[in-house]
Structure formats: structure tokens, C-alpha cells
Amino acid sequence: MLKVGDVVTVSVTITDEMVQMFSQCTGDTNPIHMSDEYASKTRFGKRIAHGMLTGGIISRVLAMNLGTGGIYLGQTLKFLKPVFINDTITVEIKVTSFRAERGIASMTTYVKNQNGELVVKGDATIMIEDNLK
């Protein structure tokens, strides 16, 4: 049973293959993500991963690693710093509230890079219930 203070931490390396696949499935072919030449001329100096790829990895940790079997009600995301190809990001999810009578849990969702810099922060809300009828 989920309880306030539960923490789950998962690290994932963002590969070029992941960025290519995310681009294909969403249709986001912005050259800041796809073109080394274009990206080299930007303030970032090299290609960055799509912000929502990091969002997708947060949602994967909620679904697969926190193990709530829940229904995603909401997510907020603040993109604080870029995530580059080959960065290893660590998603930390901490349960901050759980109203058992309504089955609604809230958690903070923080993402840091391999240098310990906070790259994305936000909050998730999930309805905890057994999906099976």
C-alpha cells in the first residue's frame, strides 16, 4: 500500500535512438533535437532531448516502478535545464499525499542530470485503483 514519504528513484540514459523514436512517434522533428549542425549554432551548442521525452520517462516511472497500477490524472512540468543526448537522468518520485478514501495520491516528480543539476521539476496526481474490473 502506497504511503506518504515513499520514494522511488530510477536512472535512465537518454540515447540518440530514444530521441529519434520520440521524434517519429510525436512528429516533433525540430532541428534543435535532430540536427547536429543546427544545434551547434544554438545557445545549447549541441542537440537536446525533447522535454516531453523526460515527461514520458517520469510517467514510465510512475506506471512501472512506483507500481501504483493507477490512472494518471495530472502532471505539471517545469523545464529548468536542457537534457542532452547521452545524459543520464535520475527521476525521483516522492509521495506527498494520499487520500485513501478517494484513492487519490500526489507526488513530487524531480529529475536531475548526472551532475546533480535539477533539470525538470513537477507534481503528479494519480488515482490508485485496481485497473481490472
**Which positions touch a copy of itself (CB under 8 A)?**
12, 17-19, 21-22, 24-30, 32, 41-43, 50-53, 55-60, 63-64, 71-79, 131-133
Shortest Cβ 46–a copy of itself spacing (Å): 12
Are the C-beta atoms of residues 5 and 92 closer than 8 Å to each other? no
CA distances from 99 to 28, 78, 93 (A): 38, 25, 17
Comparing CB distances to a copy of itself, the nearer of 79 and 84 is 79
Can you name the residues that pair with 8 across neighbouring β-strands? Answer: 93
Nearest residue (CB) to a copy of itself, 22 versus 98: 22
Secondary element (H or E) of residue 56: helix 51-60
Measured from the CB atom, is 21 or 100 closer to a copy of itself? 21
